[in-house]
Chain A
Amino acid sequence: MADPTDKVREEFFSEAQELVENLSRGLLALDELQSSGTDDPAAVNETFRAVHTLKGLAGIFGAKSMGTISHRLEDVLDCLRLGRLPLTRDLLDVLFQAVEVYWQILAHEKDRSQKEPPGIETILQRLQAFGSSDAPVALTDEFEFEISLLSVLTEYEEHRLRSCVEQGLNLFRVRVAFELATIDKDLEEIKNKAKPLGEVITYLPTGESSSLDSLELDLLLASNFAIADLAGTLGGPNVAISAVPRRHVAAKPSPRDEPFEASMVHETSHPGVASLPVQAHEASMAPAAVMRSVSQSVRVDIRKLDALMNAVGELSIVKGVLGRIGERIRSEGNRQLGAELQRLQRTFDRRLSELQSGILEVRMVPLSQVFDRLTRVVRQIGRDVGKEIQLVITGGDTEIDKLIVEELSDPLMHIVRNAIDHGIESADKRRGLGKPEAGTIALNAFQKGNHVVLEVEDDGGGVNEQSLIDRAVTLSQISLDEARGLTRQEVLNLVFLPGLSTRDRAGDYSGRGVGMDVVKTNISKLGGVIDLQSERHIGTKITVTLPVTLAIVSALLIRIAGRTFAMPLTSVSEALSFEDSMAQPIDGRETMTLRGATLPLCRLDRFFQFDVTKPSRRRFVVVANMGVRRLGLVVDDLLGQQDIVIKALGRSLKSVTGFSGATELGDQRVALVLDVSAIIEEVLAGSESREAREVREVRHA
């Protein structure tokens, strides 16, 4: 028999990754609870469950070291949730460290050629140190439970029950009849309502539902509210609440009991259920936030969505053909058939765009996926470099293409590391400057038209412009003359040149051989732009603007020597009409003056070596930009704007510089998509610094 594990190995990665993310989120929640000195058993249990499932997965899929770590981690978290171990900062540190090790292990499992990540032994030893084995507290027999109730509780649930009883909470059975059709929503609603009232220990199916379409459950609720309060909040036509009677009624009466009419409180002497019928309270029946249950969502490989998107692209070609056939039929005199076809075509068109936006929607994920990871990094780096950092996140629910999110985490991580390492000053210095000791990094995301804007803002020392200029000159990135002519923004943009770092000694975190130039390149690969604003001693703000999706891009259609090409609009800043007389040669390069600044030009027909038999008299220049670099692309005509689906080039064209892909224009015509950043690279290569060019000329000579 074929090993079934092969088939589901992909599943393993995606689930393991999700679980580690859950664990990480859970730990962040615990971290907050720990800082505020509060307690949330559910949060602890969540982390336990994530590790528990990870362990099971690791065993099944033969991920040995993941299994070993999960095993130890599970022990520790088990002690934590069963109250045998206190939640301390040290413990949290080890738990966070474990998350990092999980990521390393997952990467290793995916690519076994890499060597086993280091740090596993260390984390195992550190976890071992937390192993604890205090005996659990004895069960108090305060309530009249049926034996059968206790027998179906798991050890954890029993522990929670005990702990609630010890806190003097009262126990209630909330019997709810659910319609099977709406059980997910109704259950979520009642859970949300019950949360502020106390803790739901477990959900017991009564097995007494009257029909096949309904299901009766007893929620075992521990609460310090009186039954009347519970009835007020949880009440509804299908809800009955009864108190689980105490053996010693006098023991620990709930403080909230007294003000209520005794007649409203039915404390039954039978352990079974005596119902308290409750009227529906309109005010409390406001729809609770509906959370999607696990069973209603599916995981899809993004490549499948790409394939669907491609199919949609093909269909839009078919649409174009249909349109032309319709026209032909009409022009050949068959008006009625033509009109029918046209109607059909319109419906087709509408459905097609629905399909397209539907697929796009599925690809969208909230940015909180990256932000959660960043939160962890900020916490870790802050602790390591001894700076207290407050991370303020807004707009985590902003959605963006899944592929972009994946590619975004490294650049963002780098920007944030930079901010902590170089931006935020030491606590002493901050105190001296009259700033709050804790540095603040704000992470904002919002949608702006077809783009998502991400801002990383710190309240640190800002960019030292002079040292940037000095460094750029030293590295021959710019000449002294050029340096003098730079505007303030152009100076700041020097950050994005290769090799520029305002510090001689690279920091531990940000100085890992990756500079802002790489960040910028990665962002532009995603069709995004990056901007930097900075004020000395006030702070730095980096703004990344990204397209919402990579699947469809807005493009400018242009004509060069009778051929149509597409240029992604993200790299176009403006277009203006052009006449040959506007071109002036400077240093053997064609340039023009645009609002007082010199703009290098590139005639695309010459760049691609097209035969130009009849050059058009009136032409256009499209200003393309990549950060500080700008280039005027001379084209014959502008044809308009269109949303396009970019498809990869075949092997034969892949090596040709200047094209990033091809697209179908919907009328059976194919257009090549210009790779603007590559064209700018090629045209401007070496031209930033005169010195560099001279060096090259000397070599050539």
Chain B
Amino acid sequence: MRVLVVEDSEATRAFVRAVLESLPGDEDMEVVEASGGFEALRLLPRGPYDLVISDINMPDINGLELLNFIRKSPLHQKTQVLLMSTQAAAKDRDRGMALGANAYLTKPFSPEGLRDALRSLTLGTA
């Protein structure tokens, strides 16, 4: 499975990566990190990715715009998108779901919380 993690906090990225790489039963997990929307846009054409995990609140290009881009991209028709943001950003979450996000995760989250969210996605069927 190829996953793109878009998040401007390096530590959070490392955390997500660590959880992803510790998932059982996926030997060829490939995690690609982007430190923001632009880097993600640059990496997306090298896809497709099975899953994009993205923060919403990022400078410049936000997670919603990124999601919108992914939904319009023919290359990423089967890509699942998991958005992350804080509790305060309820409105942003609603917009994300309306734009076609597959799951939403409230920050901060535990390794278990992230694993649960991943399980809720129908990964591997893509």
Contact = CB atoms under 8 A, between A and B. Distances in A.
Interface stretch (A56-64, A96-104, A106-114, A315-323): A56-64
Given A152-B65, A154-B62, A53 B111 contact: no
Interface in B61-118: 61-62, 64-69, 72-73, 86, 88-89, 91-92, 95, 98-99, 107-111
B124 interface: no
A685 interface: no
Nearest to B55: A56
Contacts, number: 129
Nearest to A5: B15
A215 to B, nearest CB: 6
A336 to B, nearest CB: 52
A151 B98 contact: yes
Contacts of A184: 38
B61 to A, nearest CB: 5
Interface string B12-33: 1011001100100000000000
Contacts of A7: 14, 18
A154 B37 CA distance: 14
Contact of B89 (A59, A155, A183): A155
A295 B57 contact: no
A295 B36 contact: yes
A15 B13 CA distance: 12
A577 B11 CA distance: 59
Contacts of B107: 55-56, 59
Interface residues of B, number: 46
B65 A212 contact: no
A369 interface: no
B68 A4 contact: no
A15 B110 CA distance: 19
A52 B7 CA distance: 12
B59 A49 contact: yes
From DSSP, what is the main secondary structure of chain A's interface residues?
helix
Contact of A183 (B38, B59, B111): B38
Contact of B37 (A52, A155, A203): A203
Interface string B27-62: 000000011111101100100000000001101111
Interface in A287-305: 294-295, 299
A3 interface: yes
Given A8-B11, A154-B92, A183 B42 contact: yes
B66 A60 contact: no
Interface in A12-36: 12, 15-16
A205 interface: yes
B25 to A, nearest CB: 12
Contact of B22 (A2, A67, A154, A295): A2
Nearest to A211: B45
From DSSP, what is the main secondary structure of chain B's interface residues?
helix
A60 B109 contact: yes
A52 B59 CA distance: 12
B11 A15 contact: yes
Contact of B108 (A11, A56, A205): A56
A148 interface: yes
B110 to A, nearest CB: 8
A153 B64 contact: yes
Contacts of B18: 4-5, 7-8
B69 A205 contact: yes
Interface in A39-96: 49, 52-53, 55-61, 67, 74-75, 78
A406 B95 CA distance: 45
A129 interface: no
B29 to A, nearest CB: 13
Contacts of A217: 61
Contacts of A294: 8, 35-36
B73 A207 contact: yes
A157 B41 contact: no
Contacts of B42: 180, 183, 215
A75 B87 CA distance: 11
A660 to B, nearest CB: 37
B9 A15 contact: yes
Contacts of B10: 11, 15, 299
19 contacts: A1-B111, A3-B111, A4-B15, A4-B22, A5-B111, A11-B11, A53-B9, A57-B12, A60-B108, A151-B68, A153-B62, A154-B62, A184-B38, A203-B60, A207-B72, A212-B45, A215-B42, A294-B36, A295-B36
Interface of A: 1-5, 7-8, 11-12, 15-16, 49, 52-53, 55-61, 67, 74-75, 78, 148, 151-157, 180, 183-184, 187, 202-205, 207, 212, 215, 217, 294-295, 299
Interface of B: 8-12, 14-15, 18-19, 22, 34-39, 41-42, 45, 56-57, 59-62, 64-69, 72-73, 86, 88-89, 91-92, 95, 98-99, 107-111
- The 10 A-B pairs with the shortest beta carbon distances in the complex, nearest first, are A59-B108, A4-B18, A207-B72, A8-B14, A205-B69, A152-B64, A15-B11, A295-B35, A11-B11, A56-B107
Given A55-B108, A157-B62, A204-B65, 4 more contacts: A1-B111, A15-B9, A59-B108, A205-B65
